[in-house]
A and B are shown apart, each in its own frame.
Chain A
Amino acid sequence: MAMQGGTALQEKVSRMLSRKHKKPVLKPNKPLVLKDEVANRKIKKGEATCVTEMSMMMACWKQNNFVDTLCSNEMQSFYTCVEKAQIAVKNKSEQHTIGQSGRLQPKQATILLKRYPNLHVEI
């Protein structure tokens, strides 16, 4: 079934390249060969974390003329928020690498393709 699909594709490509009927649809300057790698997916841009804590701390600084001892509560809450955000990022990336939901990650697909690369030299 894969072979039939393969030959159908090759026939279509040869029809698109041919000059018999009209102008050719494809005019490739490089050979029509797939690469041994998959492009990396752009991860969604997140938002800035801990902005509220940061702004509270900065307001406290502005009030107290940047003396640190008077703002220790806000600073502590900022630190805890930052720690939580780091743990969340780690968990999210871990979850992405482990749970793919039926699909390979682009990096894993690349590794697999590199193991069985396209032959460019006749053996």
Chain B
Amino acid sequence: MAASLTGLLKPWTPRVLLVRWSRYNPYYLEPEPRKEVYHIPETELTPEQKEERELKSVRPIKAATNSVTSSVFNDPVLSKFVNMMMKDGDKIIAKGIITQTLENMKRKQVEKYHKAPEGKKAEIECNPYAIFHQALENCKPVIGLASIQKGGKFYQVPIPLTDNRRRFLAMKWMITECRDNKHRRTLMYEKLSQELLAAFSKEGNVVKRKHELHKMAESNRAYAHYRWW
């Protein structure tokens, strides 16, 4: 009892302290977490890379965030997906769901691999990370719609999207589709693995939603000249 009381008397500090703020002087440069960049020998650097190295040796660099590591398992796309799935800052649950999803996908693919005839075995993709990336690529829309006002009325105009916007839309569609349109009793990792495997083979509701966006853009192609950029 005495030990627990003395524990409560100490001032509380969190075990993980934030070093990086989000606002920095624009003079600060971004950190480079990947190890391969530092393993290139001096002779094989291009002039731009040499210039960059020299710049980094004189300029201050921002502190790296907690979610960025130099390990082989660090995937920026996957980290972004985990952050988008996260609710109320609960990263542990979101990361756990994603890990379970990847494991589930691997199990399903390995089962398919073992049941497949000899000729078809090479075509089945078993790496869950590759499946995830390919599925996300298949869900990304090429063209988006913007609401532009002309002459008092609003028209849906087809516009080109930036890469970030396309990635965000693919992830958002995937997550909302899994949250809303599935059976109530299935767990999130099961829903996600089903939807990702479907997107990998270009079926499923998310790919359908992408095609519908493309169809809308195609039907509105007459308004493409209402854009001014």
The chain B residue sitting closest to A75, CB to CB, is: B142
| Chain A residues closer than 8 Å to B228, beta-carbon distance | 45-48
Closest-CB distance, B168 to chain A (whole angstroms): 17
Instruction: Say whether B211 faces chain A, with CB atoms less than 8 Å apart.
Output: yes
Question: A58 and B221 in contact (CB under 8 A), knowing A46-B229, A48-B226, A48-B227?
Answer: yes
Instruction: Say whether B215 faces chain A, with CB atoms less than 8 Å apart.
Output: yes
Chain B contact-residue range equals 10 to 19
**B224 near A51: Cβ-Cβ < 8 Å:** yes
| Chain B residues closer than 8 Å to A49, beta-carbon distance | 227, 229
The chain A residue sitting closest to B202, CB to CB, is: A68
Question: A48 and B224 in contact (CB under 8 A), knowing A54-B143, A57-B142, A78-B160?
Answer: yes
| Chain A residues closer than 8 Å to B226, beta-carbon distance | 48
Q: In the docked arrangement, what's the CA distance between A46 and B214, Å?
A: 25
* Chain A contact residues: helix, strand, loop or mixed: helix
Proximity bits, A58-99, B CB within 8 Å = 1, else 0:
100110001010000001001000100110010000000000
Size of chain A's interface in residues, with CB distance under 8 A?
21
Proximity bits, B150-190, A CB within 8 Å = 1, else 0:
00000000101010000000000000000000000000000
Q: In the docked arrangement, what's the CA distance between A45 and B218, Å?
A: 24
**A82 near B160: Cβ-Cβ < 8 Å:** yes
**B218 near A62: Cβ-Cβ < 8 Å:** yes
Instruction: Say whether A10 faces chain B, with CB atoms less than 8 Å apart.
Output: no
Instruction: Say whether B225 faces chain A, with CB atoms less than 8 Å apart.
Output: yes
Q: In the docked arrangement, what's the CA distance between A47 and B225, Å?
A: 7
| Chain A residues closer than 8 Å to B199, beta-carbon distance | none
**B229 near A55: Cβ-Cβ < 8 Å:** no
| Chain A residues closer than 8 Å to B98, beta-carbon distance | none
Instruction: Say whether B136 faces chain A, with CB atoms less than 8 Å apart.
Output: no
**B160 near A61: Cβ-Cβ < 8 Å:** no
**A78 near B215: Cβ-Cβ < 8 Å:** no
Return the 7 tightest CB-CB contacts between A and B, nearest first: A48-B227, A82-B160, A45-B228, A58-B218, A66-B211, A48-B225, A51-B224
Chain B contacts to A: CB under 8 angstroms: 138, 142-143, 158, 160, 162, 211, 214-215, 217-218, 221, 224-229
For the A-B complex with A75-B142, A82-B160 known, give 13 more contacts whose Cβ atoms are closer than 8 Å.
A45-B228, A46-B229, A48-B227, A49-B227, A49-B229, A50-B160, A54-B160, A54-B224, A58-B217, A58-B218, A58-B221, A61-B214, A78-B142
Q: Please list 9 pairs of residues, one from A and one from B, whose beta carbons are closer than 8 Å in the complex, sorted by A's number.
A: A47-B228, A54-B221, A54-B224, A58-B221, A62-B218, A75-B142, A78-B160, A85-B160, A89-B229
